[in-house]
Structure 1
């Protein structure tokens, strides 16, 4: 069975739902521009609900060492870097914290995929997400992830990633089974696809997503 991560969790009920349906990783966003943003203090109260054996993942965008230290102190055990971090920065974070580091990268073309693989450095996992457009329809800058967009999964067919990788971007209960069948990622990552509105997770959609993955 393909493993799955529920990202952008922010309430006790949805954390409990993600645990109960078997998510191997739970993601918590520490990025003020995101509607899913948490402070380390807010996250600490949620992280205690995640049992041992599940990954507690911090989603970070060009975070400094002080923020990384704060989220680790709150109970995070895995760092997902989703900004412009270089391979050298990824290596430095992994060495300094002695924690698993994941690299998330937005892609839209095969060239983007090749660049993401080359730039992942010592990351434990490479998460391939949809590249965000520069602006939303209203003219606002988009977020690095969690925009509800998908890229063309066919770009991955026949592509040798050469390292453990996961798939994100635009996944939801209605299409995740198709994505898994098409490219067989090591795990799938969902955020906006299990929300009732921007930044608000739905227990029912979390359950539906898990059921679709396990079907």
Structure 2
């Protein structure tokens, strides 16, 4: 495929998986700070998971409707990007004072217009239920990719990544559950297979 598409591996809970993602070429590593998630990482583990990573690898923390002060406290020294997965408003995102990605689930072209209200670094296009392995609407994601630098998520794997990137032309892709043996536990074989496919 020979793509310069950026890769984010999310839902990481083990240092060995973080190191493998970096070794294979991920530009972003993601950690879920939402307590209800089966991939939840307690904030006190972030320093161990994120220490000493190469400067070009950005650390992304996933939050769902947390207070701004909580996000800032957890992010300080541990995260480079905050990814908002709840009902956070454009005003809330703007107040955080650090790079923000907003996860969205868009079902109609009209809903794309609502994204204009957000001043964020990236939009992450996900399926209706994040982390479920479901696929988002690639047609709408492709329309959005013409206007913004988007990260495409939702049901991506080695078997469909070629079609996804060629169809949507996203800035980057975000994978989590499709690379797992169990929630939060990555499969080395699946990760190697995926990177081999996307870096062809």
Fold match (TM-score > 0.5):
yes
Structure 2 residue matching 1:51: 3-state secondary structure = coil
**Equivalent position of 1:54 in the other structure:** 57
**Equivalent position of 1:168 in the other structure:** 153
**Cα RMSD after superposing both structures:** 1.7
Structure 2 residue matching 1:149: 3-state secondary structure = coil
Matched, 1:125 2:129: no
Matched, 1:41 2:44: yes
Matched, 1:153 2:127: no
> Aligned match of 2:73 in 70, 86, 106?
70
* Whole-Å separation in 1 of the counterparts to 2:127 and 2:145: 18
Show structure 2 runs of 5+ residues with no match. none
Deviation at 1:74, TM superposition (A): 4.9
The answer (yes or no) to whether the contact 1:47–1:75 under 8 Å persists in 2 is yes
* Whole-Å separation in 1 of the counterparts to 2:57 and 2:186: 19
**Equivalent position of 1:104 in the other structure:** 103
CA change 1:91–1:66 in 2 (3 A) is closer
Deviation at 1:112, TM superposition (A): 3.6
* Whole-Å separation in 2 of the counterparts to 1:156 and 1:73: 32
Deviation at 1:186, TM superposition (A): 0.4
Matched, 1:182 2:182: no
* Whole-Å separation in 1 of the counterparts to 2:9 and 2:158: 12
* Whole-Å separation in 1 of the counterparts to 2:17 and 2:25: 13
More deviation in 174-183 or 68-77?
Answer: 68-77
* Whole-Å separation in 2 of the counterparts to 1:45 and 1:67: 19
The answer (yes or no) to whether the contact 1:47–1:74 under 8 Å persists in 2 is no
* Whole-Å separation in 2 of the counterparts to 1:160 and 1:175: 18
CA change 1:101–1:152 in 2 (3 A) is closer
1:62-93 residue CA offsets vs partner (Å, 9 max, x unmatched): 11133213322351111111110111111111
Deviation at 1:111, TM superposition (A): 3.4
* Whole-Å separation in 1 of the counterparts to 2:140 and 2:122: 19
Structure 2 residue matching 1:57: 3-state secondary structure = strand
* Whole-Å separation in 1 of the counterparts to 2:146 and 2:124: 11
Show structure 1 runs of 5+ residues with no match. 133-144
CA change 1:88–1:55 in 2 (3 A) is same
**Aligned residue pairs: how many?**
197
The answer (yes or no) to whether the contact 1:15–1:49 under 8 Å persists in 2 is no
